[in-house]
Amino acid sequence: MAKINANYMKLPGSYLFVEIKKRVAQFREKHPNADIISLGIGDVTQPLAPAVVKAMHQAADEMAKAATFRGYGPEQGYDFLLKAVVKGDYLARGIKISEDEVFISDGAKCDVGNIQEIFAKGCAVAVPDPVYPVYLDTNVMAGRTGELKKNGYFAGIIYLKGTAENNFCPGPPSEKADLIYLCSPNNPTGAAFSKKQLKKWVDYARKNESVIIYDSAYEAYITEPDIPHSIYEIPGAQEAAIEIRSLSKTAGFTGVRCGYTVVPQKLIGRADGDKIKLNTLWNRRQSTKFNGVSYITQKAAEAVYSEEGRAQIKQVIDYYMENARVICSGFAKLDLKMYGGVNAPYIWLKTPKGMSSWEMFDHLLAKAHVVGTPGAGFGPAGKDYFRLTAFGDAERTKEAIERIGKSF
Ligand SMILES: *Cc1c(COP(=O)(O)O)cnc(C)c1O
């Protein structure tokens, strides 16, 4: 019998969404006529922008003719999309990134999960708590942790605790981390690093020769002027950080699948005494294990950067952020403490009356017929918090907030 990768056995089951489903199903069984509204969705709901769909149709037609058909494309992405990314996301902000530093991918989850394999097993890893679970789980799978402890933490991981005191923007730890995952704007807290806070991280990484893996999947939702859209807005960050972006939340590509990872040429790792470019390693990894994103998808992604596309996706983001505003202003009238909702489509509620996040879940389901996500699912520090999302329908979101208001 083949021995398995026993690190997988260290992972707890994906308990969160299974448990949510189970509790909702039980409730429905007892209350078949209840009109349940979900503010728990971590997925977009609005359709693709017309400019994007048009580009997809045109690309599909090209694939139908021998003269314009395309087979395998470059693993790193087509030039037209690399150029659009460099120009639209970097040059436009005064950041110099070259096309050979960008790697088009099928999304941020894959990249953020795969990137750890170019680093040594012995690297000390720092992850925020609470955060998107992929950073931690993929390092557990790779054997960079010990066992899961009773308190919910893995042995051997440096946790960066987000609390109300630090506004859910933890600073660098006292110990040395080799790999640091940062998520800004953050899922689930909605918090985003300011330039000053991010500079502390870049300085720390340069001093300790660590690498920051910067997930900015929600960059397009930033509204405040002092919040950096890219970590490369911080001087020296090209020697300290890999940046991962996605069109999933930016342009509704959760089902289409396209994102990218920037690995600057200046970013160096060590192999014994030698200095190695991480860009070379990631290129080697992608060329071997990845076949690139489909031509049709990359054409769709290119359209996101067109003038028309930009205007259309902005309307959709504004729609979601109006929901966020409705949620925040609704709660401001209640005595509920909340965070986020300004630079991200997530609202992070402190549970009232000493409720645990699961008690809050049960309360909202029973009393308001509203489903959200218990903070405990994003890490132990989330146990007294609750996540609501702005990805729903505007009318239903309003209704949900009125119902929540009446439930307390
Ligand atoms: C949704 C999300 C992503 C996007 O992942 P894709 O694979 O590109 O769909 C990445 N990071 C975070 C924190 C997210 O919430």
Does 166 lie in the same domain as 150? yes
d(C-alpha 387, C-alpha 165), whole Å: 18
Nearest to 374 by CA among 34, 67, 22: 22
Judged against a pLDDT cut of 90, whether residue 121 lies above it is answered with: yes
Given pLDDT bands bounded at 50, 70 and 90, which one contains residue 380? Answer: very high
Q: How many CA atoms lie within 13 A of 361 on its CB side?
A: 24
d(C-alpha 229, C-alpha 225), whole Å: 10
For 147-161, the pLDDT digits (tens) are 999 999 999 999 999
Does 16 lie in the same domain as 113? no
Does 191 lie in the same domain as 85? yes
pLDDT at 336: 86
Q: Which atom of ligand 1 is nearest to the CA of 258?
A: 8
Pull the structure tokens for residue 11: 């992972």
Q: Which residue from 43, 193, 248 has its CB within 8 A of the most atoms of ligand 1, so it is best to mutate?
A: 248
For residue 260, being part of any structural domain is answered with yes
Tell me whether the omega of the peptide bond preceding residue 130 falls within 30 degrees of 0, making it cis. yes
For residue 1, being part of any structural domain is answered with no
For 64-76, the pLDDT digits (tens) are 999 999 999 999 9
Does 350 lie in the same domain as 314? yes
Does 173 lie in the same domain as 257? yes
Ligand 1 neighbour 128 (Cβ under 6 A): no
For residue 288, being part of any structural domain is answered with yes
Q: Which residue from 104, 106, 109 has its CB within 8 A of the most atoms of ligand 1, so it is best to mutate?
A: 109
Residue in the structure block whose two tokens are 């026993």: 6
Given pLDDT bands bounded at 50, 70 and 90, which one contains residue 79? Answer: very high
pLDDT at 273: 86
Please give the angle made by the CA atoms of 328, 329 and 330, to the nearest 5 degrees: 90
- The answer to whether the CB of 124 falls within 8 A of the CB of 208 is no
Does 291 lie in the same domain as 369? no
Residue 70: give its domain's CATH number: 3.40.640.10
Does 340 lie in the same domain as 302? no
Helix, strand or coil, per DSSP, at residue 209: coil
Which residues span the domain enclosing 177? 53-306
For residue 333, being part of any structural domain is answered with yes
Residue 377: give its domain's CATH number: 3.90.1150.10
Beta carbons within 10 angstroms of residue 184's beta carbon: 27
Residue nearest to atom 11 of ligand 1 (CA): 217
Does 153 lie in the same domain as 265? yes
Judged against a pLDDT cut of 90, whether residue 334 lies above it is answered with: no
Tell how far the Cα of 148 is from the centroid of ligand 1, in angstroms: 24
With a pLDDT cut of 90, the percent of the chain lying above it is 96
Domain boundary among 306, 332, 362: 306
Domain boundary among 253, 287, 306: 306
Tell how far the Cα of 69 is from the centroid of ligand 1, in angstroms: 31
Domain boundary among 282, 306, 330: 306
Q: Which residue from 17, 249, 257 has its CB within 8 A of the most atoms of ligand 1, so it is best to mutate?
A: 249
Contacts of 1 (CB under 8 A, 6+ apart): none
d(C-alpha 228, C-alpha 313), whole Å: 20
Q: Which atom of ligand 1 is nearest to the CA of 110?
A: 7
pLDDT at 17: 87
Contacts of 331 (CB under 8 A, 6+ apart): 338, 347, 349, 401, 404
The mean per-residue pLDDT over the stretch 162-179 comes to 98
Strand order in 346-350's β-sheet? 338-340, 346-350, 385-389, 373-374
Helix, strand or coil, per DSSP, at residue 115: helix
For residue 220, being part of any structural domain is answered with yes
Ligand 1 neighbour 106 (Cβ under 6 A): no
Tell how far the Cα of 187 is from the centroid of ligand 1, in angstroms: 9
Judged against a pLDDT cut of 90, whether residue 16 lies above it is answered with: no
Total of domains in the chain? 2
Does 107 lie in the same domain as 151? yes
Given pLDDT bands bounded at 50, 70 and 90, which one contains residue 21? Answer: very high
Residue nearest to atom 15 of ligand 1 (CA): 187
Give me the helix-helix angle, 50-63 and 295-304, nearest 10°: 150
Residue nearest to atom 2 of ligand 1 (CA): 217
Could you list the beta-strand ranges (E) of 255-312. 259-262, 268-271, 274-277
For residue 102, being part of any structural domain is answered with yes
For residue 322, being part of any structural domain is answered with yes
Does 26 lie in the same domain as 67? no
The mean per-residue pLDDT over the stretch 111-125 comes to 98
Ligand 1 neighbour 343 (Cβ under 6 A): no
pTM, whole model, 2 decimals?
0.97
Does 115 lie in the same domain as 195? yes
Residue nearest to atom 4 of ligand 1 (CA): 108
Does 102 lie in the same domain as 226? yes
d(C-alpha 333, C-alpha 14), whole Å: 35
